[in-house]
Amino acid sequence: MAAFGTVFTPEMIISRFNDNSWSTPEMVASDSIKLHPGAHVLHYSSTCFEGLKAFRHADGGVYMFRMEKNVARLQQSSKLLALPQFEAAMLSQMILDMVKRFAADVPTPPGSMYIRPTHIGTEASIGKAAAPSLESLLYVLLSPVGDYFAGGSKALRLLLEDNARCASHMGMVKSGGNYASALQPIMQARATVQADQVLFCPNGDVQETGAANFLLIDGNEIITKALDSSFLHGITRDSILTLARDRGMVVSERELTVDELLERAQKPGAEAALSGTAAVLTPVGTLIHAGKEYTVGSGGAGTTTNALRQALNDIQWGKAEDKHSWLTKVC
């Protein structure tokens, strides 16, 4: 089985922004793009992207999950990076056209079609360190993927670090630079304490990991950091919190300190999880802080984590009612 996200459909759809206008989107081969070596993106990181999924239901229909939220977030990221703006309708149609074209390649559950819209600055200028790119490329890649948990889901080990994942005003931008800045701490955490991820907690404020939002579950309450510019506004996070409210849970979006996290996490029945598009909701079993390990609850996947992940999967896979109108039928 190929690694998650390494198989692509043979075509992608692209549109270029030049001379203050967008070109008509077109299908091209997905194995390369033409880019000048002086392109703004290669020198000044004018790049942002999204990740969403399409699912095949039992009736053979193909449905996308919360596309409008991902499109809006890419618009926001583009604006914050001073990239040329695009209409939501254009990108939405590009995504729809791609998924329709390769609908036959959408796997059955637990697989899905991973969709990666990307926006990069392409103006050839190495003198624009303090100026935006006036040209850009918007494209959509597709990658049919299998079960992220193939071989079984295990509870993760997180190292708590008193550092920020990225610049505080850039956290809500889904940009490659934010992931790059987190890579070395994650690699060091794996090598030194066998952690799976780093939970960034600048000044003791629990924020997010390198690639996912963090949730603490204490009985009937879910605690997670309130939205601000310092971390990514996860769409899976929002979906999980909505489903938790549907179940009558108390959702507390507020500051969570490292001290409170460690205290609550050791309670019997406590749970913690990471939320994201790829893994949906991944259990956390161990927190590592100041050279000491803290077991979260039983140390394994908790019943609430499993129930919330299954509830979201059931909607995505067409096995439960879509009460919040999250699905868009493609074909």
CATH number at residue 291: 3.20.10.10
* Residue 43 and residue 101 in one domain: yes
The answer to whether position 39 is within a domain reads yes
**Predicted local confidence at residue 278, as pLDDT:** 85
The answer to whether position 326 is within a domain reads no
* Residue 122 and residue 201 in one domain: no
- Banded model confidence at residue 1, pLDDT cuts 50, 70, 90: low
The answer to whether position 322 is within a domain reads no
Taking the C-alpha atoms of residue 18 and residue 84, their distance in angstroms, rounded to an integer, is 9
User: Using CA of residue 238, residue 214, residue 113, residue 8, what is the dihedral sign?
Assistant: positive
* Residue 128 and residue 162 in one domain: no
pLDDT digits (tens, 9 = 90+) for 147-179: 776 556 789 999 999 988 988 888 999 999 999
Instruction: Provide the 3-class DSSP secondary structure of residue 65.
Output: strand
The answer to whether position 323 is within a domain reads no
The answer to whether position 106 is within a domain reads yes
- Residue where one domain finishes, among candidates 117, 145, 173: 145
- CATH number for the domain spanning 80: value is 3.30.470.10
Which H or E element spans position 94? helix 88-101
* Residue 127 and residue 248 in one domain: no
pLDDT digits (tens, 9 = 90+) for 26-77: 999 999 999 999 999 999 999 999 999 999 999 999 999 999 999 999 999 9
* Residue 284 and residue 177 in one domain: yes
Taking the C-alpha atoms of residue 312 and residue 101, their distance in angstroms, rounded to an integer, is 26
Taking the C-alpha atoms of residue 209 and residue 274, their distance in angstroms, rounded to an integer, is 8
The pLDDT of 280-285, averaged and rounded, is 94
* Residue 212 and residue 250 in one domain: yes
Domain that holds residue 210: 156-316
pTM: 0.95
Joined together, the tokens standing for residue 181 give 């800045």
Q: Say if residues 132 and 138 touch (Cβ distance below 8 Å).
A: no
Which H or E element spans position 329? strand 327-329
- Residue where one domain finishes, among candidates 145, 172, 192: 145
* Cβ-based neighbours of 116, under 8 Å, separated by 6 or more: 49, 50, 51, 140, 141, 142, 143
Taking the C-alpha atoms of residue 108 and residue 317, their distance in angstroms, rounded to an integer, is 9
* Cβ-based neighbours of 131, under 8 Å, separated by 6 or more: none
**Predicted local confidence at residue 320, as pLDDT:** 97
The answer to whether position 224 is within a domain reads yes
| Closest by CA position to 267, among listed 305, 309, 299, 314 | 299
* Cβ-based neighbours of 223, under 8 Å, separated by 6 or more: 215, 216, 217, 252, 254, 256, 264
Radius of gyration of the chain (CA): 20
Joined together, the tokens standing for residue 327 give 């699905």
Computed over every residue of the chain, the mean pLDDT equals: 95
Joined together, the tokens standing for residue 49 give 């992207």
Pairing, β 26-29 against β 197-200: unpaired
Taking the C-alpha atoms of residue 146 and residue 4, their distance in angstroms, rounded to an integer, is 7
pLDDT digits (tens, 9 = 90+) for 225-255: 999 999 999 999 999 999 999 999 999 999 9
